[in-house]
Structure formats: structure tokens, C-alpha cells
Amino acid sequence: MTKIKKNMNLREEIISALIKAKIPSPRMETDIILKHAAPEYPEISEQEKQTIMLMVSRRSRHEPLDKIIGEKEFYKSVFKVTGDVLSPRPDTEILVEEAINLLGAKKNGIVLDLGTGSGCILLSILQECQQLQGIGVDISAKAIEIAQINAQRLDVESRCTFINSSWKELEIEKESIDVVVTNPPYIASAEIEELEEEVKSYDPKTALDGGKDGYDCYKEIAEIVPEILKKEGYILIEAGIGQSEKIAEIFENKGLRLKGIVKDLGGINRCVIMKK
């Protein structure tokens, strides 16, 4: 039988290891690690302690905590995450809120998420709007697997379909989509190396790299979206810092109208809303 003993000092040990590794919120993260790996702490088994030490050494190398514990809170739910998907960011929650507002009281129709990753945007919207159907597209088959698991966890899988495809090859019926949402890769290739370790080494490059100037994916999306949107349909696009006006221009050049640019909680112009 596994030996259970009290270990009152472990919390302090973990905190100092994380401080040494320059982890920004060492106490909060220590408590998350303990809660996750040793729910009865300070009572702890030898095996739980080993799991914790492994987690602390991974975190000390700046692997993000959500990827170590395998889940991340986003909007109103907890999502499974792995190294195959971009970790959901609080900045992205504004897309969910705006999409729900736009869907209005009827809240039915079809929402398409381009580059769905963990599925956090699409599935959060589906969870709020019970009449809605969703389609999530991703070029990564492994990301689609995670999104499917999250759909089951949130109990919305009967209302969503996932497609493993590039945007260029995507086959969607013309004028069939009410709202498109997307958080595409938008970091300029040369800037990826300057990002923090947590992002550049642990988020998939395919979810970050937006080509030479960061706008490649916005341009690809602007090629396909006007045709598949219903008349009066919307697209909500996540923007990187300083990108919102140029994004609006890219979509205006394809015939869509700018309806608004919404700031995230940090005051950054984050969500570009365009209407057909």
C-alpha cells in the first residue's frame, strides 16, 4: 500500500523552486500544482510527491502550467489542452462575448471556427447558445482530436462537426454560415523567437506563425469567407497588437463592411467585427 504521510514543508519547497526559476506567480502556481496532484495535501503519498516534483521541474523549464496539468479555464469552462493546441488566452474571451451578442435573442444558425485548436471559442459559444450548430476546422488532426474531447466534456458534441483541413481546401456550402470566428496564427515569423519561452517552445508553431508580416492567414481567410457567409452574416477576427486596422482593410477589400473593433480587458484592440 502507498504510504501516506504529512509533509508540511513541501509547499515552501515548491514555492522556492519556482521563485528560483523566475516563474511569475509562484505561490498561486504551487497551490494549483498541489490541488491537482495531491488533493489531500498536507497528507501526501510518495507517488504523489514524485508526480509533483516532475511537474515542478517541467514548470521550472518554463513549460506552461496548463500544459503540465492538461487543462485551462477559458470563458465559463475548463478545456483539455496539450502541446498540440494553442493554450486558450483570456484575451480571446472577447470574441466569444461579441459572437453571443451578435447572435442575439434567436441564437440559432451555424457558427464556423477557422483554426479551432482546443475548440475553446466555438464550444464556449455553443454552450451559451443552445440552438446553434458549429463547425470547427483545423489543419492539425491532433488538435481536432482535442477539440472533439472538449466538445464531449462540454456536452455539445451533438451540435458540432470538426473538419481536418486547410482553409484553402475547405469545402463549405456557399452562403451557409451565420457567424465565422477565428483566432488565426498572426505572429510575424521573425518575431516568434522573441516571444516568452512558454509560448515559443510550447504552443504549436502552426498556431502562431502568420508568415513574414503576420497577415498571411488573415489574407487566406478573407479569400474564402465572403463566399460562405450568409448575407448579413458576420466574421469576428482576433487581432494581434496593432493589427486591427490592417485586418479591417484586408476584409474590406473583399467586400465586407467594418462593424466595430472591440478592445480586450487589457485595452488592446483585439476583436475585429466585419459584416457581409
Size of the site for ligand GLN (CB under 6 A): 9
CB of 86 to ligand GLN, least distance (A): 6
Cis status of the peptide bond prior to 226, with omega within 30 of 0:
no
In angstroms, the CA 59 to CA 29 distance is 9
Phi then psi dihedrals of residue 235, to 5 deg: -125, 135
The region of 39-47, 140-148, 180-188, 221-229 touching ligand GLN under the rule CB under 6 A is 180-188
Out of 187, 228, 271, 273, name the contact with ligand GLN by CB under 6 A: 187
Residue 117 is a binding residue for ligand GLN (CB under 6 A):
no
CB of 87 to ligand GLN, least distance (A): 9
Q: Tell me if 52 sits within 8 A of 14, measured CB to CB.
A: yes
Q: Tell me if 56 sits within 8 A of 14, measured CB to CB.
A: yes
Q: Which is nearer to ligand GLN, 26 or 185 (CB)?
A: 185
Q: Which is nearer to ligand GLN, 31 or 220 (CB)?
A: 220
In angstroms, the CA 79 to CA 154 distance is 9
Residue 139 is a binding residue for ligand GLN (CB under 6 A):
no
Q: Which is nearer to ligand GLN, 32 or 268 (CB)?
A: 268
HSE, side-chain direction, 13 A CA sphere, residue 183:
24
Query: 147 — alpha (psi -120 to 50), left (phi > 0) or beta?
Result: alpha
CB of 53 to ligand GLN, least distance (A): 29
> What DSSP letter does each residue of 174-234 carry, written as one string?
TT-EEEEEE----B-GGGGGGS-HHHHTTS-GGGTB--SSS-HHHHHHHHHHHHHEEEEEE
In angstroms, the CA 250 to CA 244 distance is 10
CB of 160 to ligand GLN, least distance (A): 21
Residue 142 is placed in which grid cell? 491532433
Residue 235 is a binding residue for ligand GLN (CB under 6 A):
no
Q: Which is nearer to ligand GLN, 42 or 90 (CB)?
A: 90
Residue 89 is a binding residue for ligand GLN (CB under 6 A):
yes
Residue 218 is a binding residue for ligand GLN (CB under 6 A):
no
CB of 158 to ligand GLN, least distance (A): 28
Out of 88, 119, 136, 185, name the contact with ligand GLN by CB under 6 A: 185
CA dihedral 194→197→201→207, nearest 10 degrees, is -60
CB of 199 to ligand GLN, least distance (A): 5
Residue 186 is a binding residue for ligand GLN (CB under 6 A):
yes
CB of 79 to ligand GLN, least distance (A): 15
| Site of interaction with ligand GLN (CB under 6 A) | 86, 89, 183-187, 199, 208
